[in-house]
């Protein structure tokens, strides 16, 4: 049985564990062995086998007493922006190399309470800033220097970002599921690039306590798994109110998203924004998306033409607001309280400058500089304030669209995953986020699920967006699609 464990989804593995057909220790050992075998992907930044097996033994004891949680013994890996007591947390940055938190992030604790066993911490773009997972500043397990994460479908291509370690690990079956964070598409885009399912819930639905901040008004924790059912199980555990720790947490009871699965799609109105299907969308991606929408129609849904007229403005708005918030959030890393401190300096100012210059990577420095500029005197009104106004108009566009449809569908990215090192122009990289940024700016839930392949045999993902707190509707739609197709079951060769 153990040789097939990695082929099981979260629900199937949980059933095997509850039925005592396999132990939590056996499951943990199996996935740890796979992580060792496939270190070439650069997916893991931290692994501690003793810590993992201690958690697994504790879950086996609970299962034996009939006291295990719903996910008792199910292995999971966490993106390295969520702090953990048992593993180092670096945000993939030299600035936090070796840092160990005295507490667990709320979502880490909630998943542990449900019975999940942590396999380790996953690689990502530094401080979650990037769309390819090429900006990591920390050496992955098995390497002596920082490396980009690799896509298991083609190791010469990126897995997406910033949650590239999460998508790569799930696609390669190194973990049944993983956590991720989504600021402007960092769960949905890598899920699409790696052929897995990923969901970002409504802003405030999952606690940000213990998540290392990039842009506080946009950052949101979420889940990646093989299927919508897997994501529903993980999301049910990690979402819920945390108002004592997180001022942005929504005081709304937790939901069991699996209860929404299985409902028929008859009458579901799928909005098709004309702005998502114009120039710039590759023909191979368009073909896969069109075929998926036709499949949805077979399941009873119908297409409705809609417009999101300010879609193009989401790119400049996001790349004003998120760097501004990053500039503020990352000011705490000064070499005094915690984080990297330069070895040699002449005075306090010199220490600040050298510590930050040495600790931060190029992309992080770029965004700090942009953010500091737009917040500076004389430019705040011209840039930051105007961007906030347009953000509200983008949110209004969605509310108008939802009077005509139930969910909105479109591509996750304009192309399939590009080659590692192929995109060197930052502006070009930023423009590729045009399909995922609008939902993030509006605080809406979004999901990506695999719908086929495009150029070079690389996966293509379909993005679904719903109104606030309608994660169940997204998950049910994706689940119905996956019951009728097998794209989510396909595994890269060699894994």
467 touches 444 (CB < 8 A): yes
Helix (H) or strand (E) holding 292: helix 283-298
* Residue 415, number of CB atoms within 10 A of its CB: 17
CA dihedral for 9, 36, 80, 191, sign (positive or negative)? negative
Per DSSP, what are the bridge partners of residue 349?
none
Measured CA angle at 445 (ends 164, 105), to 5 deg? 60
Task: Supply 479's token pair.
Answer: 């689940």
Q: Measured on CA atoms in the order 175, 58, 245, 258, is the torsion positive or negative? A: positive
Residues sharing a CB contact under 8 Å with residue 100, sequence separation 6 or more, in sequence order: 85, 87, 88, 89
Strand ranges, E, within 164-227: 177-182, 197-200, 220-225
Task: Establish how many alpha carbons lie within 13 A of residue 267's alpha carbon, considering only the half-sphere containing its beta carbon.
Answer: 2
pTM of the model: 0.97
What pLDDT shows up at residue 428? 84
- Tell me how crowded residue 347 is: count the other CB atoms within 10 A of its CB: 7
How far, in Å, are 135, 273, 388, 389, 438 from residue 383 at the CA level? 27, 27, 9, 10, 18
Q: What is the pLDDT of residue 429?
A: 86
Q: What tens-digit pLDDT sequence spans the chain (495 residues)? A: 444 899 999 999 999 999 999 999 999 999 999 999 999 999 999 999 999 999 999 999 999 999 999 999 999 999 999 999 999 999 999 999 999 999 999 999 999 999 999 999 999 999 999 999 999 999 999 999 999 999 999 999 999 999 999 999 999 999 999 999 999 999 999 999 999 999 999 999 999 999 999 999 999 999 999 999 999 999 999 999 999 999 999 999 999 999 999 999 999 999 999 999 999 999 999 999 999 999 999 999 999 999 999 999 999 999 999 999 999 999 999 999 878 999 999 999 999 999 999 999 999 999 999 999 999 988 999 999 999 999 999 999 999 999 999 999 999 999 999 999 998 888 888 889 999 999 999 999 999 999 999 999 999 999 999 999 999 999 999 999 999 999 999 999 999
Q: What is the DSSP letter of 201?
A: -
Burial class (CB in 10 A: 0-12, 13-18, 19+), 403: exposed
Q: Is 362 buried (19+), middle (13-18) or exposed (0-12) by CB count in 10 A?
A: exposed
- Write down the pLDDT at residue 424: 84
Contact 35, 174 (CB under 8 A): yes
In this structure, CATH architecture of domain 1-494: Alpha-Beta Complex (3.90)
Ramachandran bin of 454, using left for φ above 0, alpha for ψ from -120 to 50, beta for the remaining angles:
beta
**Predicted pLDDT at 2:** 46
Domain extents for the chain? Answer: 1-494
Q: Which residues are catalytic?
A: 79, 162, 186
C-alpha closest to that of 343 among 356, 331, 354? 354
Task: Describe the strand order of the beta sheet including 177-182 as a list of residue ranges.
Answer: 44-46, 117-122, 75-79, 177-182, 220-225, 197-200, 446-453, 459-465, 407-411, 269-273, 302-306
DSSP β-bridge partners for residue 225? 177, 197
What are the distances in angstroms from CA 145 to CA 38, 74, 80, 140? 17, 31, 17, 8
User: What pLDDT shows up at residue 452?
Assistant: 97
CB 447 within 8 A of CB 480: no
Closest CA to 289 of 171, 142, 423, 459: 459
3 state SS of 478: helix
pLDDT score at 426: 86
């Amino acid at each position: 049985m153990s040789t097939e464990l990695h082929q099981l989804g979260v629900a199937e593995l949980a059933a095997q564990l509850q039925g005592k057909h396999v132990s939590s220790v056996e499951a943990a050992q199996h996935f740890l062995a796979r992580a060792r075998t496939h270190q070439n992907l650069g997916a893991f930044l931290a692994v501690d086998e003793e810590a993992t097996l201690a958690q697994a033994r504790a879950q086996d004891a609970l299962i034996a007493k009939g006291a295990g949680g719903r996910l008792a013994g199910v292995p999971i890996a966490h993106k390295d922006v969520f702090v953990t007591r048992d593993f180092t947390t670096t945000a993939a940055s030299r600035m936090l190399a070796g840092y160990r938190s005295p507490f667990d992030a709320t979502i880490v604790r909630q998943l542990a309470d449900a019975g999940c066993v942590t396999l380790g911490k996953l690689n990502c773009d530094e401080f979650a800033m990037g769309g390819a997972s090429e900006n990591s500043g920390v050496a992955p397990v098995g390497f002596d220097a920082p490396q980009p994460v690799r896509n298991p479908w083609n190791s010469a291509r990126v897995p997406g970002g910033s949650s590239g370690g999460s998508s790569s690990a799930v696609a390669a079956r190194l973990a049944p599921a993983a956590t991720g964070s989504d600021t402007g598409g960092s769960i949905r885009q890598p899920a699409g690039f790696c052929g897995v399912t990923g969901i970002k819930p409504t802003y405030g639905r999952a606690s940000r306590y213990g998540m290392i901040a990039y842009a506080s008004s946009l950052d949101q924790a979420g889940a990646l798994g093989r299927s919508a059912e897997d994501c529903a199980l993980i999301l049910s555990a990690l979402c819920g109110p945390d108002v004592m720790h997180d001022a942005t947490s929504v005081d709304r009871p937790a939901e069991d998203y699996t209860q929404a699965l299985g409902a028929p799609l008859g009458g579901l109105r799928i909005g098709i924004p004309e702005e998502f299907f114009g120039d710039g969308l590759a023909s191979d991606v368009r073909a896969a998306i069109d075929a998926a929408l036709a499949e949805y129609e077979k399941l009873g849904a119908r297409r409705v033409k809609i417009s999101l007229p300010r879609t193009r403005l989401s790119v400049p708005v996001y790349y004003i607001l998120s760097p501004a918030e990053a500039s503020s959030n990352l000011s705490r890393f000064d070499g005094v309280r915690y984080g990297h401190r330069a070895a040699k300096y002449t005075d306090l100012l010199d220490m600040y400058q050298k510590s930050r210059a040495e600790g931060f990577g190029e992309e992080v420095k770029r965004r700090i500089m942009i953010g500091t500029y737009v917040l500076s005197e004389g430019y705040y009104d011209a840039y930051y304030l105007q961007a906030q106004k347009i953000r509200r108009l983008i949110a209004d566009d969605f509310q108008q669209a939802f009077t005509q449809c139930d969910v909105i569908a479109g591509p996750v990215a304009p192309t399939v995953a590009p080659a590692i090192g192929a995109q060197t122009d930052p502006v070009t990289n930023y423009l590729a986020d045009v399909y995922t940024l609008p939902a993030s700016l509006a605080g809406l839930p979004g999901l990506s699920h695999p719908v086929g392949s495009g150029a070079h045999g690389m996966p293509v993902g379909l993005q679904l967006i719903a109104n606030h707190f309608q994660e169940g509707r997204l998950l049910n739609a994706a689940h119905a699609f996956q019951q009728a197709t097998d794209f989510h079951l396909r595994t890269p060769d060699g894994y």
